[in-house]
Structures are given as structure tokens and as C-alpha cells.
């Protein structure tokens, strides 16, 4: 008898049908992945299983959900309260918002135990410490009194999992639990879930859009699209012989590491030249008016981007890649170094002197929802830079808008509408059209596809490649997703702790990574092939990067890039042993300590 | 298609058609109030200050002892309440309307400047805001009225200045938030001047909080004016304002409640109309809500 059986489930939000006739089952101890893009109904399904969908304004219009012999669709709210967090637990995407920011972490977990197990006082405290230890949170006693903002993203997600597992549920629903995390942190969380599953025998319903993660963790896969089940099969069959066209399309769109980089353009004069660029931020001191230490966000970075070339900038969150991008465009102050755009130095110019040069380089941002002014029509939005620079008259705006829309593959009818009337991918096209309006030589794209579905992301990267081929545009393409970067970049720069640790032609960096950090990053990328799923092996610790926070006026240690191949440079490193070919690890030093523990029983879980 | 063509030819009509019954009623009530204020000299049969000591404290028509020609009755000096209400409405509405605009102009400009410029400019403006809050307003009013005397222009300036700090605070906070939005950064990357960012990208996105603050401020000014009148600092008697009428009429509440009721109902009606239309204007101003 399956642990969870969903029969012919239909869900609706008002008149909008979110899910149509979905049936699937989860056996005890099994991991089922629910895969789909936005609007597929996968999160609505999770809400329905917890019967939280009514609170979000939706309703179950047909079908049945059974947990063993309990009919959840017929359960009363009081019954559901006993089931939620007790027999079915849930882990959310964003651990920062899913945790109460003003409540100590231990107290939040203790609350679950009090509600479902009736534990109080010392017994609850002990159980919380045990729960923290089970998810390999180092120093659980210390974490008990800490708050969510004091922990790294990976640790926060571990607290969420500890909370979910506190009552040893039969079923864990994980709704995109690693989407907001860095790849190395993701690898740690995935291996933790596998380990815990092997220990406790719980079933996992894993909701994700990432086929790489599916390949890592799932036993069976249910593919959803716009509320309909496209396919259901064991994970190996999904990847070997997908039946549905949609699954095949999803596979094709999923970026795969090692699927080849674009051919290098002819060498030319650099469009963007960055020499020894440094950006620091002052931190508050211990006393008011006392000079505080400085955070070195970008340290002594040099690189160049040629005409018609794309340089991919990869790094984990907080490594300084967005700061570097903004510093290149003088959107934030530069503390040392030189930036040249088409040969002209940008550093040292006043804001007014800088303004006319801004048309040479434009920017595309990560969040297409926030980067378009909600009050302007599309025609005004996308022609604004041209109007500012006087390259278009007020009368000519209409024609220019039409031309730009055509260029990015949107209809001219879009012109009179507002940004909120478009989908994420269409909005990103509008952002690109806006950047193109002044015919820039360089576009700095900061995580331009991170907020988009894989199939839409693919269309956007294809569009960027087409624009590059047509107009000889140069791109500085920033992403945390190394597989996406590979698809578009002629060269790759890997950033860690404010420094470029390795830079070189894409295929060289990926095939023969010279710096240990690059190797670690590559090893953590999930491979969309369940056959290559291996036991998680422990990886040696890296030398920690030099400290980023230094007393005011202190210069960071100067590090020099060494040539390791043709046009391929890396920081010299003292790390001795090369890394094993496949491994998962976490970035946080605290997480890393625990990794050896997490790693050992992982083979049994998969 | 014909509806669309019609909407283009007659925007007013299309607007009216897009309204629900509730908003139509409120809009008509507002129109009646404004018309009554504008047409006061023609609607009133008596002068607002004409006394008739023979007919003091007469109740409104329909009550025992009412006197013909005095629809709403008379006050303690035998003045026609209807005339006083109409003239009072006229004065109160113009004071509140112009006062709101003065407060908005000062507060929103300084708030926007503080939010965009940041640094010392912001610190100075916010210090001024704190000072304005710290000093009791009646004290300032006393000082100003003692210096310049109580005239219509001085009153408007005074009432406007009384509320500027609230606009400044809200606008500065909202501007700071918007300045961190990627679309503002996109505009800066495109080479927009701070002036253009403020006018094209920030101001239209500030309409909602500004409109909400305007509706609050409008009602506040009406109350403020009446408390000033009560202290003898406001518009000087015998000139009628709604607030002053309520203040004076309080003493006669047990024997002649209509003296208080008539202006009170008008204040209530004005405030209600302003609040509803303010909410409505805010929703309409937001393109995201309008599309639904």
C-alpha cells in the first residue's frame, strides 16, 4: 500500500485551473520528484497535500489525497493540524523567509515538538539539540539561541530540515529546497536529505525545476506542465528514453556542463579593460565616529573583454561579482584601479562627464520584474536610454520601439502595454531591448536568466548569441550557474572572495581547471544523468581565501595570476592534492567540518 | 469596438461608466458639496452674519417652533444656520484644499530631495522634520498669528506648513526604497540625470502614498482649523467655518443640538468623500491595479 496516493486531483484558484486530474503515488522510503516549470502546478500540489491551498485562495475541485488510510481531502482542519508537521512536513525554497526572524531558532523547533509531541522545558531543549545534531548543524547548543540572520543560507536550510524532521514524519515535501542556494551548498543539502532518508525510511516528495537535481536525488519522476501530467517514470527511464515531447524539450533546455562553448571570436581591441580594480566598503566601527574596518568586496581584479566576445563571470553568492559589474559601469565608486571602455578611462570622471559615455555600455539585471519601471509604457521604457542620449527624437520613439521589439522577438502591439502584463521571459526581452536602444558596444548582464524557467532561459541565451552574431556586441555575462555560462561564454573568469582565481578560454577552464576552487565548484554542479550519480565522497579542505574584512587602511595580500596554459591564468595556490573527480561540499567553513560526517552513509541512500 | 470608439470620443462618459454604484454616489455627493460651497452666495437666503435676535435658537424646519425661511434653524444669535453652513463649507474647503497643496508641495519636494540626494542633505531635511514634530504646533501658530495677524493667506500657509513633515517622511522613506530598485539603477546605467530619475522614475511611483497622505492631511487640516478657531487663533468670528461652528455650538448642545449637528454632518460628509475618492484615485493611479 502506498504511503501517499493522489488520485485524479484537480485544483483551482478562482476560475484559473492550476491542476487537472493528477494521479501518482509515493511508496514508503521512496523519493518522487515533481518536475515542472513555473505555472505547472507543482507548488499548488504541495499546498494541496498539506491542505494549505484553501488559505492561499485555492480549492480542491476534484480527486482524493490519501495518506495511508487517512483521506486528506475529507479531513477537518483540526485533523489536518495534527498531520501537518507531524506526519507530513515541508521544507520551503527560501529559508530566510520561512523562518521567523525575531524568534530564536531553537524555540521555533521546540514549538513544533510542543505542538505534536507535548514536549516542554528541558525535554524539548534536549530534543531540539538532537534534531540539530541529526541534520549535522555544528555546535547545536550555540545555534539554539541564535536567529535566522546569523546563519548562512546552507545552515538556515538545515534548520528548516531539522524543524521538518523533528517529529519524524512519514513524508517530507521539499519545495525547491536548494534553488536559492549556491551549488556547493546545494550538494551538501542534497546529500543530507539522502542520508536522513536512509536513516529514517521516510518518503520524500521533491519539487524542483532542475533536471540536474532530479538526476541526483529522485527514484521516480512526475513531469508536470500547465497543470497536466506529461509523464511518469523511473528516473533512469526519464533520462534515457523520455516519452513525452515536453520532457525531451526540458532535457534539451537543461544546461549541461561540458556541452561545448561557442567558438572564439577573432582577436580584437578590447572593448572593456579592467586593471587592478578594487572596491571597498566601510563597515561601522565599534564606537560611533571611530573608523571601522573595511570590507574588500573586489580586490585587485584585472581582465578585458574583446569586441564580439563574451566573458562569463562565475562565482557563488557574495563573491563580489555583482559589485565588480557595477564598478565597471561606475554605478558604484571605485577605490583603486582603472576601467577603460572603448579605450577611454572611466575612473576619475565626474558623474556629468560619465553620462555621455554611458551609452557605450548598458546593463541587464537579474530580476526582470523589478528592473522595469511599472508606471511607464513599453514604448517609453525601451526607448528611454536613447531619448536620454538624444539619439532619438520624441517623434522617432515609436519607430525605434517597433524596431527594438522586433529585434528581441516581441510584437509591435506590445508597445502600449505596461511591464506587469508580460511574463518573466518577455520582460527580460524588454530589458534587452532597452539596453540595445543606444547601440552599446558592451552589455553587462548580471544573472540575466537566473529568475527564468530553463526553457525560457535557453531562448534568452539564444537571443543574446544572435545579437552578438548580428551586431558584434560584447558581453560580460555574470552567473552562478557554470553550465549556463559555458553555453554563452568564449572565456570564463572564476571569482572567489573578491578575486578572480582563474580566467581562461571556456573549454580550457572546464577541462583543465587549475585552481582548487574552480575544481570544487565544477564538482558540485549536479549532473543531469542518474547513471553518473556516485557516492558522495569527502573532499579535502581548501585553503581559506584571504580575509575580506581588514582594518582600515590595510592593503590585502597581493596575489598574482600565473599562466597555466594559452590565455589561461590562475592564482597560485598552496593546496596540495588534486580533488577527486566527483564530490559534494559546502562553502561555509562550519558546514565543511560536518561534511565528512554527512558523507559516509550517503551511498546507502541512493 | 463601438464602446472603444465611444470611450475615445467621450473620456468623461467612459470614466463614469467604469464606476461602480458606490463610487457614483460618492462622486455625486462630492459634486454637491463643492457646488454648494461655490454657489453659497446664491443659495443662501440670509447673510451668514445677519443676526436676528428675535429668532434665536430656532430648530430646523419640521420641528416644533421652527421658523419659515430657516431650513436648518438658527443659532444663539439668530443667524441662519444654512447660510452659515454654506459659507463655512466654502471657507473650510478652500482652506483645507489649499493647505493640503501647500503641505504637499513643501513636503514632497523636500522628501524627494532627501531620498535622492542622501547624505548630508537628507540628514538636514530629516532633522528639520524632527524639529517640526518636536515643537508644539499651537506655539508656532500663536507666534505667526501674533506677528502677521489672521488673514486667509496666513491661515493657508500655516495649515499647510503644519502637515509638511508627514509628506516629507513618507516620500523620503519610499524614495529610499525605490532608489534601491533595479529599474532606478537601470536608469542610472542608461545615463539619466538625478532630475530625470526623480521626475520620471520616482514621482509616478510615489503617487499612491502621496494620495493616501493627502486624504489624511485634508481631514486633519479641517480639525486643526477648528481647534485654532476654538482657541481664538483661527478665522475670526463672526466669519463662519465649520470647525468654529462646532466649537461654539457645543455650549448649546443640550438645548439646541442642531447647531452642532449641521456643521458636524458636513465635516463628516467632506471627510468621507475625500477618503473614498482618495482610495479610488490611488487604485486608479496604479497601472498594476487598473489592469485588473
Q: Is A307 left (phi over 0), alpha (psi -120 to 50) or beta?
A: beta
| Cβ contacts of B196 on chain A, cutoff 8 Å | 388
- Per-residue pLDDT of B40-75, as tens digits, reads 788 877 777 777 777 777 777 777 777 777 777 777
Give mean pLDDT, residues A142-158: 86
Average pLDDT, integer, range A107-124: 87
Query: What span, in angstroms and rounded, lies between the C-alpha atoms of B237 and A454?
Result: 74
Of the candidates B186, B201, B204, the beta carbon closest to that of A365 is on B186
Chain B within 8 Å of A428 (Cβ-Cβ)?
no
Whether residues B189 and A431 touch (CB distance < 8 A) is answered with no
Looking at the DSSP assignment, which residues form a beta bridge with residue A90? A173
Judge whether B62 lies within some domain: no
Q: Is the pLDDT of residue A536 over 80?
A: no
Residue A439 contacts B where some CB pair is shorter than 8 Å: no
Using CA atoms, how far residue A324 sits from A277, A334, A496, A521, in Å, is 8, 9, 12, 20
With an 8 Å Cβ cutoff, are A366 and B288 in contact?
A: no
Cell 565608486 belongs to residue: A333
List CB contacts (< 8 A) between A421 and chain B.
291
Contacts of residue B205 in chain A, CB cutoff 8 Å? Answer: 373-375
CATH number for B277? 1.10.3720.10
Contact criterion met (CB < 8 Å) for B189 and A438: no
CA angle, A518 then A524 then A530, to 5°? 140
Do B185 and A418 make contact, defined as CB atoms within 8 angstroms?
Answer: no
Range of the structural domain that residue B119 is part of: 83-290
Scanning A241-377, the segments in alpha helix (DSSP H) are 245-253, 321-328, 351-354
In the structure, what pLDDT confidence band is assigned to residue B236 with cuts at 50, 70 and 90? confident
Domain assignment present for B197? yes
Contacts of B288 in chain A (CB under 8 A): 374, 418, 420
Q: Give the β-pairing of A549-550 and A499-505.
A: unpaired
* Average pLDDT over chain A, rounded to an integer: 85
What residues in A contact B182, CB-CB < 8 Å?
Answer: 365-367, 370-371
Q: B202 CA to chain A: closest CA distance, Å?
A: 9
Residue A105 has pLDDT above 80, yes or no: yes
Choose the closest CB to A359 out of B191, B287, B288: B191
Whether A388 has its CB under 8 Å from any CB of chain B: the answer is yes
Report the complex ipTM: 0.74
Phi then psi for A344, rounded to 5 degrees? -90, 130
- Which residues of chain B neighbour A365 with C-beta distances below 8 Å? 182, 185-186
- Nearest to residue A313, comparing CAs of A478, A505, A517, A449? A478
**A367 has a chain B CB within 8 A of its CB:** yes
Q: Name the residue in chain A with its Cα closest to that of B188.
A: A331
Report chain B's terminal Cα–Cα distance, integer Å. Answer: 20
Q: What is the pLDDT of residue B59?
A: 78
> Which residue in this structure is represented by grid cell 479531513?
A75
Which range among A6-10, A321-325, B44-48, B152-156 shows the weakest confidence by mean pLDDT? Answer: B44-48
* Predicted local distance difference test score (pLDDT) of residue B237: 74
pLDDT of residue A345: 92
pLDDT number for residue A581: 42
**Is A97 touching B (CB cutoff 8 A)?**
no
- Neighbouring CB atoms inside 10 A of A498's CB total 26
B200–chain A nearest CA distance, Å: 9
Contact between residue A400 and residue A437 where contact means Cβ atoms under 8 Å apart: yes
Q: Shortest Cα distance from A363 to chain B (angstroms)?
A: 7
Q: What is the pLDDT of residue A602?
A: 36
Chain A CB contacts of B199 below 8 Å: none
Report helix, strand and coil shares of chain B as percent, to nearest 5.
75, 0, 25
Contacts of B185 in chain A (CB under 8 A): 326, 331, 363, 365, 371
Q: Can you tell me the mean pLDDT for A336-360?
A: 90
Residue B218 distance to chain A (closest CA, Å): 26
Q: Do A385 and B205 touch (CB under 8 A)?
A: no
Q: Worst-scoring range by mean pLDDT, A104-113, B24-33, B35-44?
A: B35-44
Q: Hey, what's the cell of A199?
A: 536513516
Our CA-based measurement puts residue B177 at a distance from the nearest CA of chain A, in whole angstroms, of 12
How far apart are the two ends of chain A, measured CA to CA in Å?
Answer: 22
> Quick check: is B171 in a domain?
yes
3 state DSSP class of A175:
strand
Domain annotation covers residue B9: no
Chain B interface includes A396 (CB < 8 A) = no
The helix/strand/coil state of A505 is strand
Rg, chain B, Cα only: 23
Number of folded domains that form chain B: 1
Please judge whether B190 and A374 are an interchain contact, meaning their C-beta atoms are less than 8 angstroms apart.
no
The owner of cell 521555533 is A108
B288 and A384 within 8 Å at the Cβ level: the answer is: no
Q: How far is B21 from chain A (nearest CA, A)?
A: 24
Give which of A203, A235, A8, A190 is closest to A89, Cα–Cα.
A203
- The H or E element that residue A102 is part of is none
In this prediction, residue B10 carries a pLDDT of 65
Q: Do B182 and A438 touch (CB under 8 A)?
A: no
Q: Is the pLDDT of residue B218 over 60?
A: yes
A561-565: strand order across its sheet: A361-364, A442-446, A474-479, A310-314, A491-496, A499-505, A568-571, A561-565
Among candidate residues A157, A151, A187, A188, the one with its CA nearest the CA of residue A172: A157
Q: Do A375 and B191 touch (CB under 8 A)?
A: no
Q: Worst-scoring range by mean pLDDT, A246-255, A579-588, B275-284?
A: A579-588
- Read off the C-alpha cell for A416: 502600449
pLDDT digits (tens, 9 = 90+) for A424-437: 889 999 999 999 99
Give B180 to chain A, closest Cα distance, Å. Answer: 10
pLDDT digits (tens, 9 = 90+) for B161-185: 888 999 999 999 999 999 988 899 8
- Closest-CA distance of chain B to residue A371, Å: 4
Q: What is the pLDDT of residue A205?
A: 95
Interchain proximity A420–B288, CB inside 8 Å: yes
- Which three three-digit cell numbers place residue B120? 548630508
Is B86 a residue whose pLDDT tops 60? yes
In a domain, B40, yes or no: no
Interface test with B, best of A323, A328, A384 (most B CBs within 10 A): A384
B205 to A375: CB separation less than 8 angstroms, yes or no? yes
Could you tell me if residue B161 is inside a domain?
yes
DSSP letter for A261, please: P
Q: List, for residues B127-161, the tens digit of each pLDDT value.
A: 999 998 898 888 888 888 888 887 888 888 888 88
Q: Is the pLDDT of residue A285 over 80?
A: no
Task: At A413, list the grid cell.
Answer: 502591439
Between A334 and A606, residue with greater pLDDT: A334
Which pLDDT tens digit goes with each residue over A212-228? 889 989 999 999 999 99
| Predicted local distance difference test score (pLDDT) of residue B74 | 77
- Least confidently predicted of A118-127, A254-263, B20-29: A254-263
Could you report the per-residue pLDDT of A12-66, keeping only the tens digit for each?
988 888 999 999 999 999 999 999 888 888 888 998 998 988 888 888 999 999 9
The answer to whether the Cα torsion of A112, A118, A122, A123 is positive or negative is negative
- Is there a contact between A421 and B291 if contact means CB atoms under 8 Å apart? yes
Q: Is the pLDDT of residue B188 over 90?
A: no
C-beta of residue A168 within 8 angstroms of C-beta of residue A107: no
**In this structure, is residue B220 part of a structural domain?**
yes
Amino acid at each position: 500500500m502506498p504511503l501517499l496516493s493522489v488520485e485524479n486531483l484537480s485544483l483551482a484558484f478562482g476560475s484559473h485551473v492550476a491542476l487537472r486530474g493528477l494521479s501518482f503515488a509515493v511508496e514508503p522510503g521512496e523519493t518522487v520528484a515533481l518536475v515542472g516549470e513555473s505555472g505547472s502546478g507543482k507548488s499548488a500540489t504541495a499546498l494541496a497535500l498539506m491542505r494549505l491551498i484553501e488559505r492561499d485562495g485555492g480549492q480542491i475541485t476534484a480527486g482524493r489525497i490519501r495518506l495511508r488510510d487517512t483521506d486528506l481531502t475529507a479531513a477537518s482542519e483540526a485533523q489536518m493540524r495534527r498531520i501537518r508537521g507531524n506526519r507530513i512536513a515541508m521544507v520551503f525554497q527560501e529559508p530566510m523567509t520561512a523562518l521567523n526572524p525575531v524568534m530564536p531558532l531553537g524555540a521555533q523547533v521546540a514549538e513544533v515538538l510542543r505542538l505534536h509531541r507535548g514536549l516542554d522545558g528541558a525535554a524539548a531543549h534536549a530534543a531540539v539539540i538532537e534534531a540539530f545534531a541529526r541534520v549535522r548543524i555544528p555546535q547545536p547548543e550555540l545555534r539554539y539561541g541564535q536567529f535566522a540572520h546569523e546563519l548562512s543560507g546552507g545552515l538556515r536550510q538545515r534548520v528548516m530540515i531539522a524543524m521538518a524532521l523533528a517529529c519524524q514524519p512519514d513524508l517530507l515535501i521539499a519545495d525547491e529546497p536548494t534553488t536559492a542556494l549556491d551549488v556547493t551548498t546545494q550538494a551538501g543539502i542534497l546529500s543530507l536529505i539522502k542520508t536522513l532518508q536512509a536513516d529514517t525510511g521516510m518518503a520524500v516528495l521533491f519539487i524542483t525545476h532542475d533536471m540536474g537535481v532530479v538526476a541526483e536525488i529522485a527514484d521516480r519522476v512526475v513531469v508536470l506542465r500547465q497543470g497536466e501530467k506529461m509523464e511518469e517514470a523511473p528516473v533512469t527511464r526519464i533520462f534515457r528514453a523520455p516519452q513525452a515531447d515536453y520532457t525531451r524539450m526540458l532535457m534539451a533546455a537543461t544546461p549541461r556542463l561540458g556541452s561545448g562553448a561557442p567558438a572564439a571570436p577573432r582577436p580584437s581591441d578590447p572593448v572593456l579593460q579592467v586593471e587592478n580594480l578594487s572596491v571597498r566598503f566601510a563597515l561601522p566601527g565599534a564606537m560611533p565616529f571611530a573608523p571601522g574596518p573595511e570590507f574588500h568586496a573586489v580586490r585587485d581584479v584585472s581582465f578585458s573583454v574583446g569586441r564580439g566576445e563574451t566573458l562569463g563571470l562565475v562565482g557563488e553568492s557574495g563573491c563580489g561579482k555583482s559589485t565588480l559589474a557595477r564598478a565597471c559601469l561606475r554605478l558604484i565608486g571605485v577605490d583603486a584601479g582603472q576601467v577603460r571602455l572603448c579605450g577611454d578611462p572611466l575612473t576619475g570622471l565626474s558623474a556629468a562627464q560619465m553620462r555621455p559615455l554611458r551609452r557605450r555600455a548598458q546593463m541587464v539585471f537579474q530580476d526582470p520584474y523589478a528592473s522595469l519601471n511599472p508606471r511607464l509604457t513599453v514604448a517609453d521604457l525601451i526607448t528611454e536610454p536613447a531619448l536620454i542620449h538624444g539619439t532619438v527624437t520624441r517623434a522617432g520613439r515609436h519607430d525605434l520601439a517597433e524596431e527594438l521589439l522586433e529585434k528581441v522577438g516581441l510584437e509591435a502591439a506590445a508597445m502600449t502595454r505596461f511591464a506587469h502584463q508580460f511574463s518573466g521571459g518577455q520582460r527580460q526581452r524588454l530589458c534587452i531591448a532597452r539596453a540595445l536602444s543606444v547601440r552599446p558596444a558592451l552589455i553587462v548582464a548580471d544573472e540575466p536568466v537566473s529568475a527564468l524557467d530553463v526553457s525560457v532561459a535557453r531562448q534568452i541565451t539564444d537571443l543574446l548569441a544572435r545579437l552578438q552574431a548580428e551586431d558584434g556586441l560584447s558581453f560580460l555575462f555574470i552567473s552562478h550557474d557554470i553550465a549556463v555560462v559555458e553555453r554563452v561564454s568564449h572565456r570564463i573568469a572564476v571569482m572567489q572572495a573578491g578575486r578572480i582565481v582563474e580566467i581562461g578560454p571556456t573549454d580550457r577552464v572546464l577541462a583543465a581547471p587549475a585552481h582548487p576552487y574552480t575544481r570544487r565548484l565544477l564538482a558540485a554542479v549536479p549532473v543531469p544523468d542518474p547513471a553518473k550519480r556516485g557516492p558522495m565522497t569527502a573532499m579535502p579542505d581548501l585553503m581559506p581565501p584571504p580575509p575580506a574584512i581588514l582594518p582600515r587602511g590595510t592593503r590585502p595580500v597581493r596575489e598574482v595570476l600565473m599562466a597555466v596554459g594559452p590565455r589561461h591564468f590562475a592564482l597560485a595556490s598552496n593546496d596540495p592534492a588534486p580533488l577527486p573527480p566527483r564530490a559534494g561540499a559546502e562553502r561555509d567553513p562550519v558546514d565543511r567540518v560536518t561534511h565528512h560526517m554527512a558523507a559516509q552513509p550517503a551511498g546507502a541512500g541512493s | 469596438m463601438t464602446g472603444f470608439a465611444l470611450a475615445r470620443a467621450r473620456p468623461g462618459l467612459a470614466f463614469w461608466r467604469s464606476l461602480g454604484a458606490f463610487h457614483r454616489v460618492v462622486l455625486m455627493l462630492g459634486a454637491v458639496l463643492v457646488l454648494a460651497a461655490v454657489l453659497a452666495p446664491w443659495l443662501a437666503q440670509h447673510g451668514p452674519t445677519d443676526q436676528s435676535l428675535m429668532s434665536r435658537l430656532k430648530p430646523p424646519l419640521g420641528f416644533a417652533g421652527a421658523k419659515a425661511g430657516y431650513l436648518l434653524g438658527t443659532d444663539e444669535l439668530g443667524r441662519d444656520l444654512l447660510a452659515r453652513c454654506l459659507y463655512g463649507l466654502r471657507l473650510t474647503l478652500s482652506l483645507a484644499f489649499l493647505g493640503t497643496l501647500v503641505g504637499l508641495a513643501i513636503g514632497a519636494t523636500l522628501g524627494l530631495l532627501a531620498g535622492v540626494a542622501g547624505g548630508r542633505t537628507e540628514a538636514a531635511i530629516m532633522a528639520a522634520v524632527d524639529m517640526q514634530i518636536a515643537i508644539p504646533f499651537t506655539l508656532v501658530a500663536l507666534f505667526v498669528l501674533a506677528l502677521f495677524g489672521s488673514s486667509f493667506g496666513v491661515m493657508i500657509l500655516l495649515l499647510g506648513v503644519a502637515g509638511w513633515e508627514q509628506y516629507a517622511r513618507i516620500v523620503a522613506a519610499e524614495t529610499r526604497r525605490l532608489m534601491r530598485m533595479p529599474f532606478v539603477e537601470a536608469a542610472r546605467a542608461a545615463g539619466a540625470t538625478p532630475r530625470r530619475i526623480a521626475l520620471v522614475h520616482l514621482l509616478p511611483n510615489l503617487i499612491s502614498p502621496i494620495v493616501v497622505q493627502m486624504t489624511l492631511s485634508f481631514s486633519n487640516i479641517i480639525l486643526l482649523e477648528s481647534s485654532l478657531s476654538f482657541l481664538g487663533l483661527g478665522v475670526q468670528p463672526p466669519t463662519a467655518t465649520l470647525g468654529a461652528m462646532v466649537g461654539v455650538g457645543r455650549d448649546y448642545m443640550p438645548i439646541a443640538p442642531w447647531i452642532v449637528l449641521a456643521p458636524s454632518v458636513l465635516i463628516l460628509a467632506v471627510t468621507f468623500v475625500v477618503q473614498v475618492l482618495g482610495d479610488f484615485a490611488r487604485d486608479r493611479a496604479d497601472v498594476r491595479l487598473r489592469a485588473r
